Amino acid sequence: MATFRTLLFWAHLVCGVVAGVVILLMSVTGVALTYEKQMLEWADQRAHPWVPPSAGARPLPPETLLAAVVAARPGVAPAGVTRRADPAAPVTVTLDGNRALLVHPYTGAVLGEPAPGLRAFFRATTNWHRWLALDGASRATGRLVTGVANVLFLFIVLSGIYLWVPRLWTRLQFAHVLWFRRGLPGKARDFNWHNVIGIWSALPLAVVVAGAVPISFPWASNLVYRAVGDTPPSAPARPPGAGSGTADRGRGGERRPAAPPSFAGLDAAWQAAEAQVPAWRTISTRLAGPADAPFTVTIDEGYGGQPQKRGTLSVSRATGAITSWDTFDQLSPGRRARSWLRFAHTGEYYGLAGQTVAGLVSAGGAVLVYTGLALAWRRFVAWLRRRARSPAVTTEVA
């Protein structure tokens, strides 16, 4: 009769063989995306060199800066603006159509577009990581495949925690699975690597993989809310005509031009934001929306992936008064848990150290897949050889 360990081993092996290639792809692309935000910020600062400001110089107020952009690029309608606290960093002005401009924060001069090559690389890598590089309606299929692979990977990691620990708890047995050993032949080497990397990376890797499951499946996201005693949010209602391609068209079928965004009151909103969080690292505002709606200013003390260091300030355009201040601590338990899982998946929740750990265990996941498939292949080849050596049994029917 098969033991629990035997059944768990075969389930572990089968899941690894079935999902191994997809898991390997997600692990490799995950490593490539480890420092995406930092690398893009670094590239933006070096894409268009400019003269550093003199001592005591102050950056232009956002209204003046945006007016300079519109004057330099007639017909451009800024959709958002982001400023970094680093005095050597350009201001990013986002435009419609997923475009952006880098702007000199002290003169308002348009420096150019962000580094396109690096952004194209990360965009392609993300497409492979999330959707297997599928486009259009096929993305749903790619998302399903990667989501199922994530669930199987989570089972592999959790079952591996049990399987990678030796049956006999002796110093010698643990030495064989806790430390890399030199001079081992192929099969023994793969077994050693598989166990050592599995044991040391199991817990953070489980968090990284578990964080991806709610991204892929609504039921998993709802489960996070219920696990902390919260009610899952309802799906947003689909507005009439959404997706029909006619929402922005007039009666004759022509597209109505969007009203240009208003910048009036933005200076006061940003002054309120700077006073609200003196240690801010980035301040950003979306400009689209009704002209009488408050400005929504996002203030971030982290690197963009730390929701506990980010707050949202609503400021009246007419009076400059703060109408609301929303922080991570004010979110419901379910939203906090869901947000933590989302950014624990990339390690960003814990800053650079967390990103580094996530990148390392993602690399470890790639090695786990390789060594696991190699061990499975050797097991299969050995089974074929044993079968070939077994004497054939013939039955003659008289």
Q: What is the pTM of this model?
A: 0.87
Whether 252 shows a pLDDT value over 60: the answer reads: no
Q: Which domain covers residue 195, as residue numbers? A: 1-49+116-230+353-389
Q: Please check whether residue 339 lies inside any domain of the structure.
A: no
Q: Integer distance in angstroms from the first to the last C-alpha of the chain?
A: 37
- What is the predicted pLDDT for the residue at 1? 65
Angle between helix 116-131 and helix 139-164 axes, rounded to 10 deg: 70
Q: Please check whether residue 111 lies inside any domain of the structure.
A: no
Residue among 300, 221, 293, 225 nearest 262 (CA): 293
- What is the predicted pLDDT for the residue at 297? 96
Residue among 342, 370, 66 nearest 190 (CA): 370
Instruction: Give me 313's structure tokens.
Output: 């300030």
In whole angstroms, give the CA distance from residue 149 to residue 79.
37
Tens-place pLDDT, residues 2-16:
799 999 999 999 999
Answer whether 285's CB lies under 8 Å from 81's CB: yes
Q: Please check whether residue 296 lies inside any domain of the structure.
A: no
Residue among 132, 25, 27, 39 nearest 360 (CA): 27
- Distances in Å between the Cα of 73 and the Cα atoms of 62, 101, 187, 265 are 16, 10, 63, 22
Q: Please check whether residue 330 lies inside any domain of the structure.
A: no
Q: Please check whether residue 245 lies inside any domain of the structure.
A: no
| DSSP per-residue string spanning 321-366 | -EEEEEEGGGS-HHHHHHHHHHHHHTTGGGHHHHHHHHHHHHHHHH
Tens-place pLDDT, residues 300-340:
999 889 999 999 999 999 899 999 999 999 999 999 999 99
- What is the predicted pLDDT for the residue at 76? 87
Q: Please check whether residue 90 lies inside any domain of the structure.
A: no
User: Could you give the number of structural domains in the chain?
Assistant: 1
Residues 6+ apart with CB under 8 A from 21: none
Q: Please check whether residue 198 lies inside any domain of the structure.
A: yes
Q: Please check whether residue 172 lies inside any domain of the structure.
A: yes
In whole angstroms, give the CA distance from residue 91 to residue 101.
8
